[in-house]
A and B are shown apart, each in its own frame.
Chain A
């Protein structure tokens, strides 16, 4: 398995792949992943220019540990194949497929990735795939999409298009996204891939943003798409385990390991009843803390 499939992805920062001023040093904000957008942010007559700057950016800039994902154009456009070719040739880590509604679309993109990996002597299987779900049909097919390829590392909700398809709109309350969020996180967990929430575009409402991130964190999401570097710290603060959580998880893991040897199944840690069911969760918190650089 590609070890990067499970890497830390609390924040995926979107930026227009056509703008040198944005792509030249987006790593300074330290998002976990950078999402180079060739789709909505780029005008129809600038698609080739965007690919050109994307390719050279990927080839020449050291992104210092940030994951490099490219959002290609939709499979219903004439652009996406060339997008995949340039992204893979440039050395991206992953491709985000927009408007996904079926496993066959993922397989189609995978085919192009395989071709490009061969053509540009990129290690086979290096380039991963994530799918963006932007419609009611996509939500209903989430499980199939998540399991469409070995390269699939995650699925993301794209709230704008999804709510339009649902014949509603983004309200700020989250009520319109409730069902999709639940369905996607369940599908992702069942398929053992990651799950990412949609963007929050009201940059003046940082309090609203914080609340939304707290909610999706509790729901089980792995991270959030972001549109401005100011949002990074909020997400990382919420998704990074606190010293208290880390300390408790350490004790849980240690105690379970020790008690298992002695044949004890249930016991207490800091006054809380603990059994083997807590083991994976505690390990996950410690892994998350390690990946976040706080443990």
Chain B
């Protein structure tokens, strides 16, 4: 399985929300729904506080529990990669995948089928970056494959301290945060 990853530098992220707007525009996400979002995390005790912004979305897990839970095969991996997609023509809207996602990254579209971040696979196919990555004004977001050690994401993960969200789920998430 080829592994695509998104690497986000939380030291550069200012929480502007441009990634959210870019996603909504690129993917025509309906009003009131969001495929990505930004968290503001504050740790410590006043006055010694530490704040970081974290742009979150589907983690495109290699062992995605949402794919396993789908009774119709609508949730699937794209072309033997870790990019998780939903086929609207096979989705019954049973919502098992929503219950199965520990990141709460999925939602139901008004048409009745489940939707989520696709890593902008329609752009990746053309060799482009996801809309959120290409829009980011601080260039804190990076995208690429982990199988080639020379890619930017591989080099960043090799040289900086990085964490993924809740790896203890065993889902093998592929959105990483540099700190």
Q: Do A and B bind each other?
A: no
